[in-house]
C-alpha cells in the first residue's frame, strides 16, 4: 500500500477513537476563533488534497472555510400573515454546504481556480471544509501544464 492509503486508513480510524475525537474538538475550538475563510500552509488531509490535484509548490493555495450548520434561515416578515404564507418555512437550500464553501473561497480569491474541496470537521455550530485553489498564471504551474 502507498503512504496515501495509510493516511486515508488513519483518517477513517480516527472517527472511532474517542480520545482523538476530543483532541480534534479542542483544535476546532481554535478554528472557531479564526476568520471564516482562513488560508493555511498545508492541507490537513494530504491524501484527499493530492487526489484533487494539490501539489506542494508555489501557485497552489489551501483555504479552510467555515460554514454555519443548519437549514436556510430566513427573516420572517414583520406584518401579520399566517405561517403558510410567510415564505419562511419548508425552504431548502439548492446547493450543498461543500459547494457553499467552494463558492465563498472562489469569491475571496478571485484570481485562483477551485480544484476541489473536502470535509475536515464539524462541531455543533459549524462545518469546516478545506478548499484547494490553483493560480493558473503562475510560472511554476504553467511550466508543468504545458
State the residue range of the domain holding 80.
Answer: 3-145
Closest CA to 21 of 95, 121, 135: 121
Give tens-digit pLDDT for 82-94.
777 777 777 777 8
What's this model's pTM, rounded to 2 decimal places? 0.82
> pLDDT: is 112 or 12 the higher one?
112
- How far, CA to CA in Å, does 123 sit from each of 8, 11, 27, 87, 91? 21, 17, 11, 29, 24
Give tens-digit pLDDT for 107-131.
999 999 999 999 988 888 899 999 9
Give tens-digit pLDDT for 19-78.
777 777 777 788 999 999 999 999 988 999 999 999 999 999 999 999 998 877 777 777
- Residue 130 near residue 44 (C-beta atoms within 8 A): yes
Long-range contacts of 97-101 (CB under 8 A, 24+ apart): 97/67, 97/69, 97/127, 97/129, 98/129, 100/67, 101/65, 101/67, 101/127, 101/129, 101/131
Query: What CATH number has the domain bearing residue 82?
Result: 3.40.1120.10
pLDDT reported for residue 65: 97
**Total tally of structural domains belonging to the chain:** 1
Amino acid at each position: 500500500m502507498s503512504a496515501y492509503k495509510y493516511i486515508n486508513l488513519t483518517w477513517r480510524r480516527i472517527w472511532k477513537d474517542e480520545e482523538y475525537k476530543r483532541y480534534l474538538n479542542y483544535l476546532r475550538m481554535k478554528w472557531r476563533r479564526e476568520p471564516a475563510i482562513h488560508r493555511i500552509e498545508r492541507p490537513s488531509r494530504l491524501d484527499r488534497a493530492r487526489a484533487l490535484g494539490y501539489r506542494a509548490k508555489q501557485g497552489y493555495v489551501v483555504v479552510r472555510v467555515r460554514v454555519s450548520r443548519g437549514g436556510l434561515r430566513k427573516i420572517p416578515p414583520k406584518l401579520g400573515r399566517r405561517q403558510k404564507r410567510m415564505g419562511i418555512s419548508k425552504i431548502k437550500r439548492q446547493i450543498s454546504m461543500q459547494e457553499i464553501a467552494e463558492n465563498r473561497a472562489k469569491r475571496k480569491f478571485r484570481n485562483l481556480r477551485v480544484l476541489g474541496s473536502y470535509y475536515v470537521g464539524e462541531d455543533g455550530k459549524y462545518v469546516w471544509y478545506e478548499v484547494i485553489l490553483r493560480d493558473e498564471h503562475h510560472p511554476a504551474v504553467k511550466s508543468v501544464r504545458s
